[in-house]
Amino acid sequence: MDKPNARRVNKVAMPTMGGLAIFLAFNLTNFFLLKSQYPQKQMWLLFLAELVVIFTGVVDDLIELKPAQKMLGIFLAALVVYFAAGVRMTTLTLPFVGTVNLGLLSFPVTILWILAITNAVNLIDGLDGLATGVSIIALFTSALTGYFFLNVTNVYISIMIFNLIAALAGFLPYNFNPAKIYLGDTGSLFIGFMMAIFSLSGLKNATFITLIIPVVIMGVPITDTVYAILRRKLNNRPISQADKHHLHHRLIQMGLSHRQTVLVIYGIALIFSLIAFLYPFSSLLGSFLLTLATLVGLEIFVELIGLVGDDRQPLLNLIKRLALGFKSDKNKKNTSNKK
């Protein structure tokens, strides 16, 4: 049971570990649909890695592991994926540089990617239906962009993604506000782990475009995680220390209801997905400008809602100074013309 406390938003104890149902539905469907297509050895090794993640989540839901202990479990699962299943990023093609063989860097880059995405999804699981809905949007976009634009030719990857979407869609009515059951860390860690694995299937030989698209698709959890780290560093707090200043907390503190907050964040996830669809049709310059515009717009939004802190608005303050300077110059010019 997930009991209320100072950091949680639920008012009553709530059944948790709903992620077990998602895990079972996803894997039963995979084995039924893909038993003749998916490489059997890789399927079983991936299943083994999933079991490590599920075990970590169940233990965390029961006795609440320390962040380092939780990440150790994900790290062990990532090792299985990297060394046994062979899911890894090996090369990177950069503009003006060409193809770079990652070599020994393949290991830390792949492991860090899995840890980062898994933890990011885990962090946004703070409201009824939030992580479930955002994950559905991100996974649907990943399936479409991967199949049509990123040359992920293995059809079984798309099938697996849609199997997970179906499992999440079946769970969402019971998880949406007012929830009857929570994902628990069992669910959020599993979903994040699978999203990381799926995205790596399109990043084996990464280019600038194939690298940026999954990052944009998972913009909501990545943004929340990056700014949580920045916020805690600026406030001289441990990075692993939980707080009530995540994206969903800030929106609720601004006056939105629980359900409104979730729907707003769904909308933000959809915007990120639409931006991701623009990259395959953009030139190198267009991709650069699109990325720049996305980052500027994101920073303005973050400062407006005070995700880092109400008094930390460097970009907004710069815009205000430039606007005041422009207005002052215009007034001086008008005064000079009158004379």
Q: Residue 334 annotated as binding?
A: no
Residue from 272, 43, 28, 56 nearest 166 by CA: 28
Beta strands at 91-94 and 98-101: parallel, antiparallel or unpaired: antiparallel
What is d(CA 240, CA 172) in angstroms, rounded to the nearest whole number? 28
Q: Which two tokens stand for residue 87?
A: 């899911």
The answer to whether 22 and 189 have CB atoms below 8 angstroms apart is no
Which residue is associated with the tokens 């950069």?
A: 94
The answer to whether 224 and 120 have CB atoms below 8 angstroms apart is yes
The answer to whether 165 and 172 have CB atoms below 8 angstroms apart is no
Residue from 116, 129, 86, 295 nearest 189 by CA: 116
Q: Residue 151 annotated as binding?
A: no
Q: Which two tokens stand for residue 129?
A: 């239906």
Q: Which two tokens stand for residue 173?
A: 């009515």
Give the amino acid at 122. Answer: N
Residue set of the binding site: 122, 185
Residue set of the binding site for Mg(2+): 122, 185
